[in-house]
């Protein structure tokens, strides 16, 4: 969001998407620790867990490593859940980004229930079923106790995955009946012994239902992730008063964007690479892992952070990788680069989404229920009917002209 300055003609403020660079400057300036409950503003597409204006519990600390940050915020999360919900959290399991994508199809998995992904390429391809044979990935989930679903219910589920929001071309199911037999629409391609091997791969029990998708790896995992959450919802596995935190670590530092033909930062440009992978920045930047971590609670990312770059040369190399010219980097982030010239302590931090955390503790899906006068999906405040056009006198005072045609 940009705000015109009345006192500085033709110049604008940018509302902070986060205090990231400011809190790093505080660390360079000699503050040891910084904590703030802060308002952030992001002009992005809205959904149930996003608002243009939101609140973060923000933190930055000097001379810390990943373990120190995780320990600090495990304590905060444990305290909040105990005080507010009366729930004791024994452990905070950890999972790499690669493992999360492989087992759950997204980087913020809900681990209150199972249904982890099972890859079936070795067992399902080469049997004459072209839908599987022609695809990069065959992968499925075993839904516990769901073999009693009727054909009508399964047909409705097939239509559900074909919706544009999911985009699957179809769905293969296999019922693992309570008598130990198997029933599927692809019986003529696979024997009972074949299905028994699938059941073993799934770690399934009698009475389970196998749901299998195929296609290119990334798209199919995303589709199956949505199906997994839908089945958990239908079978009451997402219990609102059960809490399962998870740290996701070892994210890629960069991701390649085909449209712009350049790398983008997976988190932000100030995240440091793993110290033992600095050499890869020059030879294989896409393989470099970030010193970054997200805290996930019940399938929602409630916190994200990293150990930051504190070396001017490394920060300059990062801007180069992201396609910034020297002039662009200096114009946008010169204040930070100049500060690094004077020596910056190692530092790192994290930000918690307060609205999202409160919504989870309240057992709701949308943060709008916990914000006074929230914006709707179109980004409008329906109470005061904002945003709204300005009068010409107001535009003149701000040195602005509106090019919108009046209806």
The CATH number of the domain covering residues in 2-97+243-370: 3.30.930.10
| Residue among 26, 111, 29, 35 nearest 69 (CA) | 35
Q: What is the pLDDT of residue 402?
A: 87
Q: What is the pLDDT of residue 98?
A: 97
Q: What is the pLDDT of residue 45?
A: 82
95-124 pLDDT, tens digit per residue, is 999 999 999 999 999 999 999 999 999 999
Q: What is the pLDDT of residue 44?
A: 82
Q: What is the pLDDT of residue 407?
A: 60
Q: At what angle do helices 97-104 and 217-234 cross, to 10 degrees?
A: 70
Residues 6+ apart with CB under 8 A from 313: none
**300 touches 356 (CB < 8 A):** yes
The single-letter DSSP state of residue 15 is: -
Q: Where in the chain is the domain with CATH 3.30.930.10?
A: 2-97+243-370
Q: Identify the CATH assignment for 113-234 out of 3.40.50.300, 1.10.3720.10, 3.30.1360.30, 3.65.10.10.
A: 3.30.1360.30
Q: What is the pLDDT of residue 259?
A: 86
**161 touches 228 (CB < 8 A):** no
First to last CA, the chain: 25
Q: What is the pLDDT of residue 405?
A: 74
329-378 pLDDT, tens digit per residue, is 999 999 999 999 998 999 999 999 999 999 999 998 889 999 999 999 88
**214 touches 137 (CB < 8 A):** yes
**27 touches 344 (CB < 8 A):** yes
The β-bridge partners of 23 are none
Low-confidence ranges of the chain (pLDDT < 70): 406-407
Q: What is the C-alpha to C-alpha distance for residues 300 and 294, in angstroms, rounded to an integer?
A: 10
| Residue among 223, 101, 232, 234 nearest 163 (CA) | 223
Q: Where in the chain is the domain with CATH 3.30.1360.30?
A: 113-234
The β-bridge partners of 175 are 183, 209
- Percent pLDDT > 90 in the chain is 89
């Amino acid at each position: 969001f940009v705000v015109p300055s009345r006192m500085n003609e033709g110049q604008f403020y940018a509302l902070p998407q986060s205090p990231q660079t400011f809190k790093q400057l505080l660390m360079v300036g000699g503050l040891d620790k910084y904590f703030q409950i802060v308002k952030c503003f992001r002009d992005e597409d809205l959904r149930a867990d996003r608002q243009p204006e939101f609140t973060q519990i923000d933190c930055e600390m000097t001379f810390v490593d990943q373990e120190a940050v995780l320990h600090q915020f495990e304590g905060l999360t444990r305290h909040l859940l105990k005080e507010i919900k009366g729930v004791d959290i024994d452990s905070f399991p950890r999972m790499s980004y690669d493992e999360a994508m492989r087992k759950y199809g997204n980087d913020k998995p809900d681990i209150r229930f199972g249904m982890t992904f099972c890859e079936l390429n070795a067992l399902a391809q080469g049997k004459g079923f072209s839908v599987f044979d022609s695809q990069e990935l065959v992968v499925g989930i075993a839904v516990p106790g769901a073999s009693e679903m009727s054909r009508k219910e399964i047909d409705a589920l097939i239509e559900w995955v074909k919706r544009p929001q999911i985009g699957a071309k179809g769905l293969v199911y296999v019922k693992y009946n309570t008598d130990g037999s198997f029933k599927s629409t692809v019986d003529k391609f696979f024997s009972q012994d074949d299905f028994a091997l699938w059941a073993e791969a799934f770690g399934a029990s009698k009475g389970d239902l196998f749901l299998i998708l195929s296609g290119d790896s990334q798209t199919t995992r995303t589709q199956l992730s949505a199906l997994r959450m839908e089945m958990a919802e239908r079978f009451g596995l997402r219990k609102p008063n059960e809490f399962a935190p998870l740290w996701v670590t070892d994210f890629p530092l960069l991701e390649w964007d085909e449209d712009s033909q350049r790398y983008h930062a997976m988190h932000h440009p100030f995240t440091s690479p793993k110290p033992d992978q600095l050499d890869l920045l020059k030879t294989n930047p896409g393989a470099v892992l970030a010193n970054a971590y997200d805290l996930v609670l019940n399938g929602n990312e409630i916190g994200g952070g990293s150990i930051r770059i504190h070396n001017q040369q490394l920060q300059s190399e990062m801007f180069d990788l992201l396609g910034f010219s020297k002039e662009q980097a200096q114009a946008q982030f010169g204040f930070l680069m100049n500060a690094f010239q004077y020596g910056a302590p190692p530092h790192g931090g994290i930000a918690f989404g307060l609205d999202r955390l409160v919504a989870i503790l309240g057992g709701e899906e949308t943060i709008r229920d916990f914000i006074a006068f929230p914006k709707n999906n179109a980004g409008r405040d329906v109470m005061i009917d904002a945003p709204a056009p300005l009068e010409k006198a107001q535009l003149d005072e701000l040195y602005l002209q509106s090019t919108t045609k009046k209806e």
